[in-house]
Amino acid sequence: MEYFLNEQQKAIKRLARTIAEEKILPVRAELDEREEFPWAIMKDLADADMFGVFIPEEYGGVGEGCLALCLVVEELSRVCSSIAISFAASALGSLPLIMYGTEEQKRKYLSDIVCGKRLAAFALTESTAGSDAGAIKTTANQVEGGYILNGTKQFITNGGEAEIYTVIALTNKGKGTRGASAFLVEKDTPGFSFGRKEKKMGIRASSTRELVFEDCLVPEENMIGRGGMGFIMTMIVLDCSRPGIGAQAVGLAQGALEAAVDYAQQRIQFEHPIISIQAVQHMLADMDIQLEAARLMVYAAARTIDSGARNFTEESAMAKVFASDMAMRVTTDAVQIFGGVGYMRDYPVEKMMRDAKITQIYEGTNQVLRNVIASELRKRNAMRE
Ligand code: CAA
């Protein structure tokens, strides 16, 4: 399949694959078992300038945008999506800054993010505000010189490991989604601490943690964008980042498919490799078809974003939903093709199936995203009437 990648994009993809195979493959099972954050790999990615692929050139990045980010996430996920999401979550944490930050904020914070010196994270979700993101309760009350943050964020990817956090909090409680604002909060800020570290089904080498704000003073100049625009900025940022979750799902499924084909060629039953059985061939063919369709949707959504299009809510949500549902099916079928041994931790498909589940849940559950897609359909229909 020709993906029409330019030379730069092809080089980025190749480099990400090399890092994944040389550095990640030997340690992925151990990091998963120990639930250990992949700091050494983050360093390898930093040394290879991977943290800058999507960051504009004027801030030290490569400036290749969303598609390049997706290519890196895909290649890392082909080997380990838990390490890939630690990388991708830093990109999500820095997107509000890139898209809405002041020149001064960008110069101050992107210089450390672009070289991988400091990781970023994005903090929206709370215990009572998951799919209903507008129901956040964390407050940011204006005082002289800044804002006092109070509240607890839940399930924050890179929580505790990142040093720069984009935090969404209410600056005007009575105004609903129009009362939220975005803030940059640094790790060592007094009043900012970390709570429970989650024990997860999959992506176990990534950190998922609570952020606790208790009378945490954030300087005025750390507000990102205009006050009251935090929710809308969040929606647009998530529209930009969801193809990255699609890419995670595509990479994960690619790894599972390759493992399943290898195994089906080696495994002898009834005196023949099981790949000679038509039932197995059809499973593999369906996995391949679905995977390729998802990859094309993810690349198309990323290219739409990079083209400067104004609205890509639907393309982005469709790519994330389709790819993550596909990854759940493909990894489950890969375990099925492995049979009994596929269920054991000695083989990689067991981990891939566990890792796939979260792609249907985070950055918008697939149910909420279907609502979003339906709402876009209704808007388009209303415009035709
Ligand atoms: N682009 C621009 N503006 C948008 C928008 C978009 N995609 N979506 C909504 N808006 C605007 C609306 O136009 C509206 O603006 P006005 O104030 O001018 O009317 C405003 O935002 C509020 O919109 P809604 O009334 O539609 O808001 P809602 O409260 O009904 O919620 C929702 C809508 C889509 C369900 C939203 O709550 C949502 O996206 N939920 C999913 C949350 C999510 O994705 N969380 C992911 C957390 S991050 C994460 O998971 C990262 C990780 O760990 C790796």
Among 243, 224, 232, 222, residue whose Cα is nearest residue 317: 243
Ligand 1 lined by 157 (C-beta under 6 Å): yes
pLDDT of residue 1: 84
Q: Which residues of the chain have pLDDT under 70?
A: none
Enumerate the active-site residues.
Answer: 363
> Is 18 in the same domain as 57?
yes
Among 180, 192, 181, residue whose Cα is nearest residue 150: 192
> Is 247 in the same domain as 106?
no
> Is 242 in the same domain as 176?
no
Residue for token pair 């914070």: 109
pLDDT digits (tens, 9 = 90+) for 219-259: 999 999 999 999 999 999 999 999 999 999 999 999 999 99
Among 182, 183, 185, 186, residue whose Cα is nearest residue 233: 182
List the CATH number of the domain containing 362.
1.20.140.10
Q: If you measure from the C-alpha of residue 231 to the centroid of ligand 1, how many angstroms do you get, rounded to a whole number? A: 7
Q: If you measure from the C-alpha of residue 234 to the centroid of ligand 1, how many angstroms do you get, rounded to a whole number? A: 7
Q: If you measure from the C-alpha of residue 254 to the centroid of ligand 1, how many angstroms do you get, rounded to a whole number? A: 30
Count of domains in the chain?
3
Ligand 1 lined by 254 (C-beta under 6 Å): no
Ligand 1 lined by 229 (C-beta under 6 Å): no
Ligand 1 lined by 136 (C-beta under 6 Å): no
pLDDT of residue 28: 97
> Which of 228, 248, 278 marks a domain boundary?
228
> Is 152 in the same domain as 209?
yes
> Is 22 in the same domain as 132?
no
List the CATH number of the domain containing 212.
2.40.110.10
Ligand 1 lined by 232 (C-beta under 6 Å): yes
> Is 36 in the same domain as 181?
no
Structural domain range at position 348:
231-384
> Is 268 in the same domain as 374?
yes
Q: Is residue 11 part of a domain?
A: yes
Closest ligand 1 atom to residue 134 Cα is 29
Q: From atom 12 of ligand 1, which residue's Cα is the shortest distance away?
A: 232
> Is 241 in the same domain as 379?
yes
Among 142, 131, 207, 209, residue whose Cα is nearest residue 170: 142
Q: From atom 28 of ligand 1, which residue's Cα is the shortest distance away?
A: 134
